[in-house]
Amino acid sequence: MSSPVPAAVASASALSARGLRYQVTGRSILDDLDLEVPPGTSVAITGPSGCGKSSLLNCLAGITLPAAGTITVAGHDITTASPSRRAALRLAHIGMVYQFGELIPELTALENVALPGLMSPARPHEVYVRAEELLGELGLAGLRTSPTATLSGGERQRLAVARALIGSPDVVLADEPTGALDGKATQAVAELLFALPAQRRCALVVVTHAPAVAERGDTVLILADGKLESVR
């Protein structure tokens, strides 16, 4: 059983990365990279394919360990935590959205949204109540019992956002969340995502190739030569 997650130390940032270094097959992908995302703010990250955006998000989520550097999420250092504690911290503090939704096709919309909560210490009944609330808040109540396989790409991504919110995360990380959508669905999903920091006080990091999505970020950064540089 994983140990309980202790209280966070005080931190102005919901998400903080200092001095990150990470290599893939001898090539430096992250090179002394820093990032600070205060609660209630958003960052958009762009950069050419293969520059390391997904690698960076995987480090920020505690899925991949950087070779050096420190990452804190809601004040918790995830770089020195054991794998089981990283998983517990991820469940408690981080929501993830991927390019293709990564929903489970055999489950209904409601079950997909509830699923991460059912892996947390929360009571299942409360998780399902919260999942119902989220579907309502995100305008997805009509999809409640829909088999996931019948949904459009835009509906799937909206559900993926709802699922990311089931644990009331301090940090939401999205990797090309509109990469598989047409223009109209792209705008709807981008609007939903970039409204989250103001609505829920979370920090939001969105990796995207789409200029119309990136420009919604409070800060727009480009990943180049292993570092984040300001675009605006």
Structure-derived torsion over alpha carbons of residues 178, 183, 189, 193, reported in degrees to the nearest 10 = 80
Nearer to ligand ADP, 189 or 223 (CB): 223
Nearer to ligand ADP, 122 or 231 (CB): 231
Nearer to Mg ion, 53 or 93 (CB): 53
Count the site residues for ligand ADP by CB under 6 A: 11
* Angle (nearest 5°) at CA 22 between 18 and 25: 175
In angstroms, give the least distance from the CB of 176 to ligand ADP: 8
In angstroms, give the least distance from the CB of 49 to ligand ADP: 4
In angstroms, give the least distance from the CB of 55 to ligand ADP: 3
Q: Which residue has the tokens 């990470």?
A: 22
Helix (H, G, I), strand (E, B) or coil at 97: strand
Stretch of 5-13, 50-58, 96-104, 148-156 contacting ligand ADP, by CB under 6 A = 50-58
- Reference 60, options 172, 202, 225, 196; nearest CA is 172
Rounded CA gap, 85 and 72, in Å? 13
Nearer to Mg ion, 166 or 204 (CB): 204
Binder of ligand ADP out of 11, 28, 54, 219 (CB under 6 A): 54
Nearer to Mg ion, 201 or 209 (CB): 209
AA identity, residue 34: D
Judge contact between 120 and 127, C-beta under 8 A: yes
Beta-sheet pairing, 227-230 with 219-224 = antiparallel
By CB under 6 A, tell whether 129 contacts ligand ADP. no
By CB under 6 A, tell whether 146 contacts ligand ADP. no
AA identity, residue 145: T
Judge contact between 157 and 185, C-beta under 8 A: yes
Stretch of 49-57, 69-77, 136-144, 186-194 contacting ligand ADP, by CB under 6 A = 49-57
Judge contact between 225 and 31, C-beta under 8 A: yes
Binder of ligand ADP out of 3, 9, 24, 104 (CB under 6 A): 24
Q: Which residues bind ligand ADP (CB under 6 A)?
A: 24-25, 29, 47, 49-55
